[in-house]
Structure 1
Amino acid sequence: MLRSLYAWTLSLAARKAAAAWLALIAFVESSVFLVPADVLFLPMALARPEKAYRYAFIATAASVAGGIAGWMLGYYAYESFAKPVLEFYGKLDTFERLKSHVTEEQLGLLLVTSGLAHLPPIKVVTILAGVVRVNLWHFILSAIVARGLRFYLLAFLLRRYGEPIQAFVEKRLGLILAAVAIGLVALYVAYRLVAG
């Protein structure tokens, strides 16, 4: 099922309404969808590099809006809607572990790491932010920074290097962003040890 969903998402890049599909995929990825918006963003930005930053803006704005929807699902509809979605994707155990231990400060860090490198998946963190009642404005600011950084970095790389960078982006960018996310976590832990 996941492979066919991935292939369907990729096929949307060739459509006339690809920008609208990008917005929709980026929106639902942040709250309930499994396939990342990058799957659609990459071929679109490669096909029309002059529009890469426009696509980055669309993906960022829609992803932040989807994150707000995820926050609202966690805040207002966890039991009735969000919990079954997390259970469907097999993320409920991860969610419950995070929920029982996370502080608002740690959640801010998770928003950045999930927005940059999908660690943990963004939908888990957006719903969690609503459940634990993270300040909505702090949440939005973190989402703008993390998602914007990811999509604008992709746009820059694809505009600057074009198709030769595609294999690097698809295979290694996730690892690099994951390393950055781990570095942020390490800095946070070091800060907490020194401060506390």
Structure 2
Amino acid sequence: MKIFSTLYDKVMTWSEHRHAERYLSGMSFIESIFWPIPVDVMLAPMALSRPNKALHFAMLATVFSVLGAALGYGLGQFFYDPLVVPLVESVGYQHKMEVAFDWFERWGVLVIFVASFTPIPYKVFTITAGVLNMAFLPFLLVSLVGRGLRFYLVAGLMMWGGPRMEAQLRKYVEVLGWLVVVLAVVAYLLLR
């Protein structure tokens, strides 16, 4: 069953769409608030298909992700009980929120930097920062550095790998896709 190669081809086509930059920007913004799909899913193919614009794509992803993080912070600070709690419960993120609260207690503002790279959704940390009334300016600065490093790293790897990487990725996309599914299931079972 070739699920991932079909998806890969579709994503590569979308990455060259005339509105791809808008989609990337919008996805980066909402991913920091509620969207479950990581930005890398759009950023990586866009950087692969147009390596000359890869750094521009990383910049868009960074800026809009931080703007979304600011809104997530505001939601956590002002609308946690009436809006966020029901949403968190509806998507089953209660445990992830508990982890975020624990991490904030241990590491403070550095947790925002670490959260930029963890498998725990970034939105959990942006909202938690607002709930805990973290200082806003350090929150924004650390978000900018952490998200920027992540997105520029992804774009840089795609630029570096270029057409050879794209060919190899296309060749092994089914194996990689199923491997990610298995790892996600294992991670879920371990974190549960």
TM-score range normalised by the length of the shorter chain: 0.7 to 0.9
Q: Check conservation: 2:59, 2:148, Cα contact below 8 A.
A: yes
Moved more, 126-135 or 157-166: 157-166
Number of the residue aligned with 1:96: 98
CA RMSD in angstroms, aligned pairs only: 2.4
Q: Which amino acid aligns with 2:26?
A: L
C-alpha distance in structure 1 between counterparts of 2:90 and 2:114, whole Å: 23
C-alpha distance in structure 2 between counterparts of 1:71 and 1:118, whole Å: 18
Q: What SS does structure 2 have at the residue aligned with 1:102?
A: helix
Q: How many residues align?
A: 162
Number of the residue aligned with 2:126: 126
Larger RCO, structures 1/2 (Cα 8 Å, 6+ apart): 2
Runs of 4+ with deviation above 6 angstroms: none
Q: What SS does structure 1 have at the residue aligned with 2:134?
A: coil
Deviation at 1:85, TM superposition (A): 2.3
Q: Check conservation: 1:107, 1:129, Cα contact below 8 A.
A: no
TM-score by length of 1: 0.74
Q: Which runs of 5+ in 1 are unaligned?
A: 172-196
Deviation at 1:97, TM superposition (A): 4.7
Deviation per CA, 1:84-106, whole angstroms, max 9, x where unpaired?
A: 22223211222135436732x61
Number of the residue aligned with 1:113: 114
Number of the residue aligned with 1:48: 50
C-alpha distance in structure 2 between counterparts of 1:12 and 1:69, whole Å: 27
C-alpha distance in structure 2 between counterparts of 1:74 and 1:12, whole Å: 33
Q: Which runs of 5+ in 2 are unaligned?
A: 177-192
C-alpha distance in structure 2 between counterparts of 1:97 and 1:150, whole Å: 21
Q: Check conservation: 2:104, 2:111, Cα contact below 8 A.
A: no
Q: Check conservation: 1:113, 1:119, Cα contact below 8 A.
A: no
Q: Which amino acid aligns with 1:16?
A: R
Deviation per CA, 1:45-84, whole angstroms, max 9, x where unpaired?
A: 1111000000000000000001111101100111122222
TM-score by length of 2: 0.75
Q: Which amino acid aligns with 1:139?
A: F
Seen in structure 2, the aligned counterparts of structure 1 residues 76 and 40 have a Cα distance that, compared at 3 Å, is: same
Number of the residue aligned with 2:41: 39
Identity of aligned residues (%): 32
Q: Which amino acid aligns with 1:111?
A: I
C-alpha distance in structure 2 between counterparts of 1:26 and 1:101, whole Å: 24
Q: Which amino acid aligns with 2:67?
A: A
C-alpha distance in structure 2 between counterparts of 1:73 and 1:12, whole Å: 31
Number of the residue aligned with 2:145: 145
Q: Which amino acid aligns with 2:72?
A: G
